[in-house]
Structure 1
Amino acid sequence: MATEKMSDVPAQVPEDANHPVKLPAIPKGATVRRRPIPTRTPSTRASKRIYITPKTPFRSITARVRKQLDKNLREASSASNAFTNKLAANKGASLDERVRAIQRHSSQSAKGSGNTGGTTGLENAGEVVVLGTGRAIQKVVEVALFFQKQNDCIVQMKTGSVGAVDDVIQEGDEEWGGEGEERVRMMSSLEASIRLR
């Protein structure tokens, strides 16, 4: 009975969606130039995205998020006040017409913000999305925990992955300004969506 050493048997991993293919090793003498991570547009017009790195100061992030939340609240409040003033100016309208106008306004603001509530309050005050990849995920978690402890904030977390593009430049190609070979590597990402109650 012939026995083989474990080191002689190559590891066979099926190539399917559950087992991603590992990138080949970078050749000796080659350098890697990393491109910026691609950004997405906000999902709604009322959301603001803040990208952070591991070196971004914690206090700076929390101040930016709070400033944006306050700005969103002021904008939503002024829009709500404008509607209230318009409704009050129409003194000749019957009570039934005023109620229908309020219901129309409520349904339009709920559609615009993605909410299903039917109030004329500040439900569309907007959200701030804090996004980090790789080592910055820890900082996103810290920011989310900070705002989760605030009484006026609601925090939702969403995980994902982002394809980051690197250029592998062979030795000698740098002189000619060559772009090199593109390699896509997947990075984990975390989004913290913060909005006011």
Structure 2
Amino acid sequence: MAQEKSASQRPRKMSRIPKDYKVEKRPLLRPPITSQYANASTSKIVYVSTKTPFMSAVKRVQKLLAQAEKRLAQSAADQVSKRPKYSHVNDEISDIERIASTMASQKDEQDEIVLKGTGKAIAKAMSLALWFQQRVEYNVRIETGTVGAIDDIIPPEGEDEHMQDEGEDIPESRIRYASTIQIFVSAAA
């Protein structure tokens, strides 16, 4: 059951601006995209737009998940290499597999790839979530929210500051709110 927000918590409606003024939308603020080779503590984000090719986004997520598995195997191999040498290569390989499986089970949270979509791109992000959810080898978790974006209000050219419409105070910028969705995809245990 949806709960109603109180009037103070809801975003206020944006005030109307005169017809001759223009609104210029700024791009949404977001952190820089991290490298796919960065450590597991940094979240890997794939931004989805309406023009993002569907299978390209799928392949990008699969590649990032494969990199996470490689990092896990590499750290297990590093632990084995610090031990005394084995008489057989098969013993070393089985030990690496055993350590990698225990490390994966001890992890509190698995490496998650985050798909983010805002506005019209929510539909494409949801179709990507559905694609991953239909496969057994992936776990999918979805969160929704809103994000604030800044719009600049540009006065018409040639208008003097003294000739404002009947003394109205028109702001230089305003905040609008856009819906957003975050889809967390991880490899199934």
What's the secondary structure of 1:184's corresponding residue? Answer: strand
Task: Specify every segment of 5 or more residues in structure 1 that has no aligned partner in the other structure, as ranges.
Answer: 1-13, 92-105, 107-117, 175-179
Measured in 2, the distance between the counterparts of 1:173 and 1:81 equals: 69
Count of residue pairs brought into register by the alignment = 152
Match of 1:135 among 86, 100, 120: 120
Matches within 5 A, 1:31-42: 31-40=22-31
Query: Over aligned residue pairs, what C-alpha RMSD do you find?
Result: 2.9
Residue of structure 2 in register with 1:21 after alignment: 12
Question: Once the two structures are aligned, what percentage of the paired residues are identical?
Answer: 32
- Cα 1:159/1:40, change in 2 over 3 Å: farther
- Against the structure 1 CA distance between its residues 181 and 48, is the aligned structure 2 distance closer, same or farther, given a 3 Å change threshold? same
Matches within 5 A, 1:56-75: 56-75=52-71
Structure 1's 68 and 139: CA in aligned 2 closer, same or farther, altered over 3 A?
same
Task: Check 1:195–1:182 CA distance in 2 against 1; reply closer, same or farther (3 A cut).
Answer: same
* In structure 1, distance between residues paired with 2:158 and 2:114: 40
Deviation, structure 1 residue 89: 2.4
C-alpha distance after superposition, 1:98-150 (max 9, x if no partner): xxxxxxxx9xxxxxxxxxxx932374662210001111111111111111122
1:30-109 residue pairs with structure 2 within 5 A?
Answer: 30-40=21-31, 45-86=41-82, 88-89=83-84
- Residue 153 of structure 1: how far off its partner (Å): 1.0
Q: 1:47 to 1:89 in 2, by over 3 A?
A: farther
Does structure 1 residue 158 correspond to structure 2 residue 150?
A: no
Runs of at least 5 residues in structure 2 that lack an aligned partner in the other structure: 1-5, 35-39, 87-98, 160-170
TM-score, scaled to structure 1: 0.67
Bigger Rg, structure 1 or 2: 1
Change (3 A) 1:148 1:15: closer
Is the Cα contact below 8 Å between 1:46 and 1:126 reproduced in 2? no
